[in-house]
Amino acid sequence: MPDELLPDDLLIDRLAADLKPVRPRTNGRDGLLVGALCILELALFLLTGAMRPDMPVAMHHPSFWWKLTSLGLIAAVSGTASVVSFHPAGSPRRGIRWVLAIVLACLAVGWGLDSGRAGWAALDARLDWRHGVQCLVKMLLLALPAVAGLAVLMRRGAPTDRSGTAWSVGIAAAAWGAFVFVFACPSDDPLYIAFWYMLACLSVAVVSRLLLPVLARW
């Protein structure tokens, strides 16, 4: 907001005098930047030897592919919605609705995969609190590069629905962090995955929703 009102003509003269050439932002370039950052993070993560040792066996479990495709899909859709909403005329709302539908569909598939298991009796053992908290912390850390990258682009862009965009960014980054963690996570129990992964994603999304609208105010 201008501190002191000038006549419009004077303000316009000042803005024109301050004009410097700029490179127009495009959704495609922002998408490529985010994609490159995410791929780099995944590559570095795998290069550190963090991949689960029983990966060949895990790849035969439907639940491994369930968590990988679910999180990849959620990250892709919410990431796209985020980048689109960095343009003033773009809205994240439709993308968020799609993401919610995908999450519900993924949970339904997970429920189907879980139906053959022992049931809810061993809930405490299945949720495995000690390992669950460790997984939660790792997913939060793995979400940080994507949150930071998307936050920089959000701040540089001109989102006109800052709270919606912040939700979208938080969901995208959280889903990506969880996607990367899938390669290290030793559990293929759908209940464990649904609980701890959703908790991690919700945590990142809520913190993003609280912080990013303030950081990206314009």
Partner 1 sequence: MAEPDWDRMMQAAQAGDADSYRRLLGEVGAWLRRYYHRRLPPAMVDDAVQDTLLAVHEKRHTYDPARPFGAWLGAIARYKWIDRLRAMKSHPSVELDENLPVPGHEEAVSSAVSLERLLAELKPAQADVIRLVKLQGFSIMEASHRTGQTMSLVKVNIHRGLARLSAMIRSRNDAG
**Positions that interact with partner 1 (CB under 8 A):** 1-2, 5-6, 8-9, 11-13, 15-27, 86-89, 157-158, 160-161, 218
- Quick one: CA dihedral 149, 152, 153, 159, positive or negative? positive
Question: Which one, 86 or 181, has the nearer CB to partner 1?
Answer: 86
- Residue 3 burial (C-beta neighbours within 10 Å; 0-12, 13-18, 19+): exposed
131 vs 178: CA distance, rounded Å: 15
Nearer to partner 1, 7 or 49 (CB): 7
Least Å from the CB of residue 94 to partner 1: 12
Give the shortest CB-215-to-partner 1 separation in angstroms: 15
Closest approach, Cβ 167 to partner 1, in A, equals 14
Q: Distances from the Cα of 112 to the Cαs of 105, 107, 169, 183, 192, in angstroms?
A: 11, 9, 29, 22, 14
Q: For residue 43, with 0-12 CB atoms within 10 Å meaning exposed, 13-18 middle and 19 or more buried, which class applies? A: exposed
Closest CB to partner 1 among residues 5, 121: 5
Tell the smallest beta-carbon distance from residue 218 to partner 1 (Å).
Answer: 7
Which is nearer to partner 1, 27 or 203 (by Cβ)?
27
Q: Provide the minimum distance between the beta carbon of 32 and partner 1 in the complex, in angstroms, as a whole number.
A: 15
Residue 5 phi, psi dihedral angles, 5° rounding: -75, 130
Which one, 6 or 104, has the nearer CB to partner 1? 6
The values of phi and psi at residue 160, to 5°, are -100, -5
Whose structure tokens read 């209940």?
A: 191
**Least CB distance from residue 170 to partner 1, whole Å?**
19
Nearer to partner 1, 26 or 134 (CB): 26
Question: Do residues 190 and 107 make contact, with C-beta atoms less than 8 angstroms apart?
Answer: no
